[in-house]
Amino acid sequence: MAGLKEAASSYWREKQVSHLTGAQWGDEGKGKGVDEAAQFVDVVVRTNGGANAGHTIENEYGEFKNHLMPCGFANPDVLNVIGAHVVVDPIQLITELDDAQERLPSSPQLVISSQAPLVMPWHITRDELREKSKGDASIGTTKRGVGESYSDLALRDGFLVGDLLDSEFAEKFMRVADAQDKYMRLIDGEHLVSEVDLTWKEGSISTLQGEIYTAKKKNYLNPEEELQKYLAAADRLGPLIGNTHVRVREAFDDGKIILGEAGQAALLDLTNGTYPYVTSSHPGVSGFLISTGLGAHEVDRVIGTAKAYMTRVGEGPMPTELQDEMGDYLREKGREYGATTKRPRRTGWFDAVATKYGVQTAGITELMVTKSDILDDLPYIKICVGYEVNGQQFSSMPDFSVSGMENVKPIYKTMKGWQKDTSGIRNFSDFPPEAKEYFGQIEELVDVPISVLSVGPQRDAIVYRNDQ
């Protein structure tokens, strides 16, 4: 174990500024990676997303499922930062903070960006109503209000974390809540004729459905009750709110080791992912820059987490999806159920084409491959080495849009499985030859090196390539 700790320290401290993000469709094990790194780094910055991202961690204090708390929280010497590109649900954050303070020997160091957008009660309700209104065309959001909060931010009509400290917060909250109630009635298909029950003669008014509606006042919100929750949150979180750009810059100037922790992953990026089946933020290096205030020239590396197979939660294209016994096997053995939604994840063989696209668009320079141990018992393993589209073959996807992915057929290479338990391996040289060949194939196809491998959920179930 001494050798493993030395290898880990050498890896995580060899670069001053690193960002850890997902190279695929999320759920690749970022939380475990950050929890491991937090034993050796000085600052962990959560860089994007909100409570729609769930990072599961297993360490000496038990299992944690963080949605907002940066995963460096277990080390009292680490400064945990919630950056400016993160959407903050203050109620959820307090729940996680309470849990950490109850179970850890020391309270985490935490600072929250005053510029981060706030999730308000109406964002969550709007999220639910909008998904409902889309019917079969819904995109499968987590209904945590994250996209709605980002939407209001883009419209310059939202609340920021710093607004919790404003003396006029309560007045603004009640004013906006009233307007939001009317807006949600529109989303839900109600007519804003009056708040009085009106009766119309047949044929005097028509709707798209040819039915007569009365204006019914629904209580989408209880503004007074919700306001009290936010005022209590302001009291609790107030001392933790500050200018995180300044704090990160000071740490950088002092030579501190800084690690970014992304939510979601490259293939879900708002701009570069399979729109509209994407998240509402930027998980790659661009999100790190927004959240920290550091410059691109100050980032030393971007580590992409990638499962040894593929998973995806929600809707959207997934060329290597397995809807058979093998898909069920990967799901059950890998415990592939969403940390946030509990939804079963879609599973499939490793897609080198999609992963390479994620690597390129997120600025990833090296990989941390996780869950290779889930493949231990398989006699054979397939890897997608290319796509066939309308009779043409591609090693790189020419069109990553939803329409461009509609007719994709994966081209597979079948490799021999290793059929040996690798969960106890801590040195790369101890992997079976077949496993090394599989990892080498991934490196060749994705065109970045694998620097770290995770072979189990525990913190020490990890292999560093600098310890061969």
Q: Which residues are catalytic?
A: 27, 55
The structure tokens listed for 325 are 């016994």
In angstroms, rounded to a whole number, what is the distance separating the alpha carbons of residues 234 and 230? 6
d(CA 287, CA 83): 10
Distance between CA 138 and CA 277 in Å, rounded?
A: 9
DSSP-based three-state secondary structure for 62 = strand
Closest C-alpha to 63, from 31, 107, 110? 31
Contact (CB, 8 A) for 221 and 181: yes
Strand partners, 58: 63, 458
Q: Are 46 and 55 in contact (CB under 8 A)?
A: no
Per the listing, tokens 């084409």 go with 353
Helix, strand, coil shares, percent, the chain, to 5: 35, 20, 40
DSSP designation for 199: -
Q: Are 419 and 378 in contact (CB under 8 A)?
A: yes
Residue 338 in tokens:
């969403």
DSSP secondary structure letters along 295-351: -GGG--EEEEEEESSEEE-SSS--TTB--SHHHHHHHHHTT-B-TTT-PBPEEESEE
Q: 361: which 2 tokens?
A: 């668009």
Q: How far apart are CA 38 and CA 43, in angstroms?
A: 8
The rounded distance, in Å, linking the Cα atoms of 353 and 394 is 9
Q: For residues 101 and 115, what is the distance between their CA atoms, to the nearest angstrom?
A: 25
In this structure, the chain runs to a length of 468
The DSSP call for residue 165 is G
What Å distances lie between residue 431 and 4, 143, 434, 438, CA to CA? 16, 42, 8, 11
Q: Tell me how far CA of residue 13 lies from CA of 22, 179, 433, in angstroms.
A: 21, 50, 30
Q: Give the bridge partners for 394, in sequence order.
A: 387
Query: Using CB atoms within 10 A of its CB, is residue 24 exposed (0-12), middle (13-18) or buried (19+)?
Result: buried
For the chain, give me the number of helices (H) and strands (E)? 13, 18
